[in-house]
Structure 1
Amino acid sequence: MRPARALIDLAALRHNYRLARELGGARALAVVKADAYGHGAVRCAQALEGEADGFAVACIEEALELREAGIRAPILLLEGFFEADELEPIQRHDLWCVVHSSWQLDIIERTALARPLTCWLKLDSGMHRVGFAPDDYRAAHARLAACGKVTRIVAMSHFARADELDSPRVAEQLAQFAAATEGFDGEYSLRNSPALLGWPQLFRRGHEGEWLRPGIMLYGATPFEHYQAQAARLRPVMTLESKIISVRELPAGEPVGYGARFVSPRPTRVGVVAMGYADGYPRHAPDGTPLAVDGRPARLIGRVSMDMLTVDLTDLPRAGLGSRVELWGAQVPASTVAAAAGTIAYQLFCNVRRVARAWHD
């Protein structure tokens, strides 16, 4: 069988969830949308169910996959519902629902419900994707509270620049949220992974009404561009690996791969790895992107193709056919590969496909 695979360390996942709880001192929904950022939503939720306060997904399809797998913990729909007929399975499966737009409020008000909803009412405090404008938020909250169809309302918002540790925008959004919810005595949710890791000075730790929403940190990747002490405590969950399937010796001056992007500057020993952009490895990774061969540092050379990529083995004389190659994991941080390719670790993880996944504790 093709040797490309993604190894998912569930013990590391639990470690990272516990770190989120430690840093935030509050209840935390583990964000497992997009198939747990490519790590396998069902297996990750099962690994966390014994201690997670609940889960967050993007949409009802993702929530139903977890319910069908036996996950009984609370599940929040981060995008809420898209059609009125989704309210019936939302009630039947006891799902929590984000309300971010007036049309959703209209549907809730005019729909007969068998049981009341738990709604998370979203404020647009500056992200400007979805959410009620600050001037409209109190009226939306009042409508939800008065409709008789909602048993709990959790106030929420989302930070746009918490991954920038010198940005004033986090404090500005927090002030906007505080003003819009002044006088509300209930539950709220603000902190995502970068806010949890990088902005403890702005939050009151351990407030009993707070809900945390750790996402990327659960999977062991830093949301920051540079070193950050708390992010350094994370443990990588995914190791993407494969093996060398061919080795060839090239003289100086020979091109490698499509477009002749790399030309050997010296006699070069080239290893071919069963991994390509169809597996999720970034096509635009440049020459020199780090990887590891049999645990030793190595570098990518040549353009990544659909099913294969090439590495420089010149200084690794013991490496050869069958050598293990780590594309990212404990030795090669996904964030380092992402930075080299001009993207983010979130996208690397979500793009992983075709490779076999194996989960372990």
Structure 2
Amino acid sequence: MRPARALIDLSALRHNYHLARERHGGRALAVVKANAYGHGALRCARALHDEADGFAVAFLAEALELRAGGIDAPILLLEGVFDVAELAEAARHRLWMVVHHEEQLRMLERTPLAGPVDVWLKVNSGMNRAGFVGDAVGPAWQRLQASGKVGRIVLMTHFARADEPERETTLEQLQRFEAATAGLPGERSVANSAAILGWPQARRDWARPGILLYGADPMPAEGNGLRAVMTLESAVMAVREIAPGEPLGYGGRFVAERPTRVGLVAMGYADGYPRTVPDGTPVAVEGRASRIIGRVSMDMLTIDLTELPDAGLGSRVELWGDQVPVNRIAQAAGTIAYELLCNVKRVGVEYVRR
């Protein structure tokens, strides 16, 4: 059996959720969109079901998968609904929904529903991607109330640069949000993962932890006590020696400067490990530090075993996890941990409770 696999530590997931809720205060929706950032939405939701205040997904199909799997907790549709049929389905399954533009508001007003739905009214406080702006927020709130279709209205916004603690953008967005919602009753939700960890000014009624649930710290200065949930690992499948001056892999990017012992590892970009990482990107071999040498290929990559003489065929290789933070691999690849985690595929997935 090919040894490439992703180990998902559900105890670490619960630890990170409790850390987020304790740090923020109030309640917290566990964001499990995009298949729980590649970790398995249903398994993660089941692991948190008795503890989480609710869940958030991107769209209806993701929510229906959770309902079909027995998740009866509140579920918020972050993109809202796309047509009348989806609105009826959302109401039938007791889903909460974001309303972030005029057509969604009109849809609610004109569509008969079996009962009231809970709405999260989104305010565009400066990200300029979705939401009602400034003076339009109050009238939108009033129309939702007047529709007779809405139970509770939660006021929300989303931060564009909460992971940049040196910038004032987050405080400016908070000020715009407060101005736009002044005088409107109801609960508030503004804090994403980065705001939970880095912006105490953003603590309101509901938090929306996403990436931090999975142990990837969104803040530049890590050390918030998060635990890695996914360990991407494989094993050495072959070993060879190359002499000084010999190239390795596609394009001959790596050229040995000394006699080099090369480990061939069953992991490649078709599994989700990024092709763009440079030579020197860290890995751990049986718990000891090593590095990528040569270009990552579709199914395999190569690592330096020169300083690890007792490592060889079958040695366990951690690509990211407890010892090799996924953020370090993302930085080496010129991307973010979100993308790496969401892109994991083809490998075996095993759920553990440590």
In the superposition, the TM-score normalised over structure 2's length comes to 0.98
Q: Determine the C-alpha separation between the residues in 2 that align with 1:251 and 1:228.
A: 40
Aligned with 2:7: secondary structure? strand
Deviation at 1:203, TM superposition (A): 3.8
Q: Return the letter of the residue paired with 1:139.
A: P
Which residue is equivalent to 2:128?
Answer: 128
User: In the TM superposition, what whole-angstrom CA distance separates every residue of 1:180-230 from its partner, at most 9, and x where no partner exists?
Assistant: 111122111000100000111x145xx5xx1110000000011123x244x
Which residue is equivalent to 2:173?
Answer: 173
Q: Determine the C-alpha separation between the residues in 1 that align with 2:337 and 2:241.
A: 33
Identity in percent:
65
Which residue is equivalent to 1:309?
Answer: 301
The 5 Å alignment of 1:215-234 reads: 215-225=210-220, 227-229=221-223, 231=224, 233-234=225-226
Deviation at 1:352, TM superposition (A): 0.3
The 5 Å alignment of 1:34-183 reads: 34-183=34-183
Q: Determine the C-alpha separation between the residues in 2 that align with 1:292 and 1:51.
A: 33
Which residue is equivalent to 1:184?
Answer: 184
The structure 1 segments of at least 4 consecutive aligned residues displaced by more than 2 Å after TM superposition are none
Which residue is equivalent to 2:234?
Answer: 242
Q: Return the letter of the residue paired with 2:126.
A: G
Aligned with 1:222: secondary structure? coil
| Residues 174, 202 of structure 2: 8 Å contact kept | no
Deviation at 1:82, TM superposition (A): 1.0
Question: How many residues align structurally?
Answer: 353
Q: Determine the C-alpha separation between the residues in 2 that align with 1:104 and 1:121.
A: 11
Q: Determine the C-alpha separation between the residues in 1 that align with 2:128 and 2:297.
A: 37
Deviation at 1:256, TM superposition (A): 0.7
Q: Determine the C-alpha separation between the residues in 2 that align with 1:125 and 1:228.
A: 27
1:353 matched to 2:348? The reply is: no
In structure 1, stretches of 5+ residues that fail to align are none
Q: Return the letter of the residue paired with 2:296.
A: V
Which residue is equivalent to 1:291?
Answer: 283
Q: Determine the C-alpha separation between the residues in 1 that align with 2:134 and 2:238.
A: 60
Which residue is equivalent to 1:211?
Answer: 206
| Residues 197, 219 of structure 2: 8 Å contact kept | no
For the aligned residue pairs, the C-alpha RMSD in angstroms reads 0.8
| Residues 198, 228 of structure 1: 8 Å contact kept | no
In the superposition, the TM-score normalised over structure 1's length comes to 0.97
| Residues 75, 95 of structure 1: 8 Å contact kept | yes
Deviation at 1:139, TM superposition (A): 1.0
Q: Determine the C-alpha separation between the residues in 2 that align with 1:203 and 1:244.
A: 46
1:26 matched to 2:18? The reply is: no
